[in-house]
Amino acid sequence: MGIYEELGIRPVINANATLTRLGGSRLAPGVAEAMAEAGQSFVDLRALQRAVGAEIARLTHNEACYVSSGAAAGLTLVTAACIAGTDPERRERLPFTADLKNEVIIHSHTRVQYDFGVRMAGVRLVEIGSPAGTSTNELIAAITPRTAAMFFFPRGQEERGELPLEAAVEICHARGIPVIVDAAAQLPPKSNLWSFTQRGADAVIFSGGKGLRGPQPTGLILGKRELIEAITHHGPPNPFIGRGMKVGKEELCGILAAVRWYLDHDETQDAAFYELAVAEVVRAFEAHPAVSARRIWPCEAGQPIPRTELLLDEARLGRTRDEVLTALRNGEPSVEVGEGLGATLWINPQTLEPQELPLLLERLEQELQVLSHK
Ligand SMILES: *Cc1c(COP(=O)(O)O)cnc(C)c1O
C-alpha cells in the first residue's frame, strides 16, 4: 500500500500550477537522496547555511544567497533586514517598529496576497500607482525618511505602464533605499536567477518548491552580500523573528541538489513537452459542440510556458464551469485544472508528467461531455 493510500489520501493529477495547497511540485531527481543523506549526521547548522548559500550564489552568479523556509518567509526576513540591519537591539524589538524605518513601497498593479509576509515584519505598506502602472513621480513622492524598502512583484514580462526595474532602482538607490523583487514563481527561465539582481535589485526571492522542484519548505534569497548577512542575523536558528521559519539540514542539502539539477537540466526538452501537451488538449476539443480550446501564453506568473484555455458554453454543456471543476476534482483520478476568467478552464502542462497526459485527456473528455438529459 502506498504512503498516501494508507492515509486515505488520493494523489491528484495537477494541471493547474505549482500550488502549495496541492504540494507545490515534484522533487527533482537527486533531491530526496541528498535529504536522506543529510539527515544521518549532526552538523553546525549555521556553517551549513553559509556553505550552501555560498555554493548557490556561485551557481546563480550572485554575490550571496540565504535559504529561507519558502518565498513567503523570505519576504519577512528580507524586510526585517531592511528595517533593523544587524543591530541587536532593533532585531529583538521586531515586529514593533515605532521610530524605525517602517514603510515599504509597493506598486498597486502588482499587489499579491503574499505581501502579508512583508507586513509581518512590522511595516506599513505604502501603495503607489494604479492598475495601469506607476510613474516615476509617484515613486519619488512616496519616499519618506521612514522608507525601509521598495518591493516589486513582477508578473513576468514587464507590462505596459510599468515602471522599469532599472528606473525604480536608480531612484531608490540615489536615496539609499533597497529594491527587493519577489519572483517566487518566475522559473523558468533559468536566467531569472541572475537577471533581476544584474538589473540592480538588491535581492530577489524564489520559491524552492515551485519551478526549482526542491523541498517545499525552502526558498532562495539571492543578492547583495551585506543584505544577506543581515538576513542571517534575523533567521533561524537565532531566536528572533525568523525562529519559526526554520530550515533544516535536510532542506538545505535538498535545495542545493535541486538548484544543481535545475541549472543542468534541458529547458528545451521541457518546452517541447509543454507544446505537445497543449496541442493534444486543443486537438481533443477541436470538433466539440460546447467547448472551444486554444493555446494561450504566457503562464500564470508570466513564465514562458504555454497553456490551453477551454471556453465552455455552459448552457449547451448543461454544466457550469464550477460544476466541471468540482467534478474533475471529485472523480477518479482527481484532476485539478486552473480556474480561468469567466467560463474558462486553464490547463497547465508545467506540473504534468508525460504519462499523465492520456489520463488527463480522458478525464477532461468525460467531464466535458454534453449532458443531453439536462
Ligand atoms: C508562491 C509565491 C509566494 C510564496 O512562496 P512559498 O515558497 O510558497 O512561501 C510568494 N510570492 C509569490 C509572488 C508567489 O507566487
pLDDT of residue 290: 97
DSSP-H helix ranges across the chain: 3-6, 31-38, 45-59, 71-84, 88-93, 116-119, 136-142, 165-174, 192-198, 225-234, 249-264, 267-284, 314-317, 321-330, 357-367
Distance CA 24, CA 210 (A): 6
Distance CA 189, CA 171 (A): 27
Give the Å distance between the CA of 340 and the centre of ligand 1.
Answer: 20
Ligand 1 contact via 20 beta carbon (within 6 Å): yes
**What b-and-e string marks burial along 1-14, b requiring 16 or more CB atoms within 10 Å of the CB?**
eeeeeeeeeeebbb
Give the Å distance between the CA of 75 and the centre of ligand 1.
Answer: 9
Ligand 1 contact via 120 beta carbon (within 6 Å): no
**What are the pLDDT digits (tens) for 193-250?**
999 999 999 999 999 999 999 999 999 999 999 999 999 999 999 999 999 999 999 9
Compute φ and ψ for 125, nearest 5 degrees: -85, 130
pLDDT of residue 168: 95
Distance CA 274, CA 256 (A): 26
Ligand 1 contact via 112 beta carbon (within 6 Å): yes
Residues 6+ apart with CB under 8 A from 18: 24, 25, 185, 207, 209, 210, 211, 350, 351
Q: Relative to the CA of 18, which ligand 1 atom is closest?
A: 1
Distance CA 20, CA 26 (A): 11
- Residue 49: CB atoms within 10 Å: 20
Pocket test for ligand 1, best of 182, 204, 246 (most atoms within 8 A of CB): 182
pLDDT of residue 226: 98
Pocket test for ligand 1, best of 207, 213, 221, 350 (most atoms within 8 A of CB): 207
For 188, left (φ over 0), alpha (ψ -120 to 50), or beta?
beta
Give, for all 374 residues of the chain, the pLDDT tens digit.
Answer: 899 999 999 999 999 999 999 999 999 999 999 999 999 999 999 999 999 999 999 999 999 999 999 999 999 999 999 999 999 999 999 999 999 999 999 998 888 889 999 999 999 999 999 888 899 999 999 999 999 999 998 876 556 667 889 999 999 999 999 999 999 999 999 999 999 999 999 999 999 999 999 999 999 999 999 999 999 999 999 999 999 999 999 999 999 999 999 999 999 999 999 999 999 999 999 999 999 999 999 998 889 999 999 999 999 999 999 999 999 999 999 999 999 999 999 999 999 999 999 999 999 999 999 876 54
pLDDT of residue 374: 46
Give the Å distance between the CA of 74 and the centre of ligand 1.
Answer: 9
Ligand 1 contact via 207 beta carbon (within 6 Å): yes
Q: Which residue has the cell 533597497?
A: 178
For 202, left (φ over 0), alpha (ψ -120 to 50), or beta?
alpha
